Structure 1
Amino acid sequence: MAMATACLRLAAVPLGLAPPPPRRAPTATGVRYGLKTSRLSVAVRAADGGTGGEGSTEVPEIVRAAQDAWAKVEDKYAVTAIGVAALVGLWTAIGAIKAIDRLPLLPGVLELVGIGYTGWFTYRNLIFQPDREALVSKIKSTYKEITGSSS
């Protein structure tokens, strides 16, 4: 009979709701946490030379360079507007690329275009020896123009 009464009590609790967990006294945990915190702050002060970080105003070199560059700018509003416009443009371009990527036929069409261009380039420049020699000489002359070398 006692078993039946216990089952009835469990069935009386609504589904999905559990009684709240018992509360613990925060004093023991708080003391341990406070000791760890105080030991950490003592270690930081000792590593910092005892100043506690209050007297150190050392700025990293990259931040100093950025501050100097910003101080040299005459029209700060225009530079800020260009920066915001660049971020908006980047965000828009990423959205457009994601939208194009979701289209069902476009990736397949672009793949066919790539295969077709590869075939055309191979036929035009790589199959016959005179065409290959012309391509190699064009690549070498372009390389010389870019690097400025005479050899």
Structure 2
Amino acid sequence: MASTSTTISLSSSSTLIDGKAPRPPPVSPPYSVTLPPVAPQNRQQNRETWKATAYCRKIARNVIAMATGESQIKAAAGTQVEVETEVSEIVNTVQAEGDTELPEIVKTIQAAWDKVDDKYAVTSLGVAGFLGLWVSSGMISSIDRLPLVPGVLELVGIGYTGWFAYRNLIFQPEREALIQKIKDTYNDILGSS
């Protein structure tokens, strides 16, 4: 018996793996979106950013030094810097703004808050009212997303508005009765004046 040997050489580009032909490389679809490359910052922008950062750090160090009672601050490079005038100008500006009077509405709210005996209950009612508004807003937005419901509710609103206008606003006796009813309700809530 004669033995014969055969050698098989495989090249990666033309071989069949599991009896399948090699796949071509994927082609990007025509609708693909790519982001543009980020442009590097120029040296001028980097320098300005560095200067602003260094200036803010210097002011922060000076404010801390003034708070601790030091009069002059040594900079990182070893030179002495006097920034007391800048910091004192900032402090004077803040103090001058604090001397301005509060608006009238703020004074009225403060006076009303000082008259309240049970501040805990009023605060709890305020928080509960805010949470109620938040929940009702969520419910309305979820109802608004349902199909057909917003249109039906809009038609109901238009119909009720037309009915109310016909019943209370078109004829003068009904209009006067509505105005009197509104005034009576107003006086019941706020007290007669």
Larger Rg: 2
Normalised by the size of structure 1, how large is the TM-score?
0.47
Greater per-residue helix proportion: 1
Instruction: Tell me: higher relative CO, structure 1 or 2? Use CA pairs within 8 A at least 6 residues apart.
Output: 2
Normalised by the size of structure 2, how large is the TM-score?
0.39
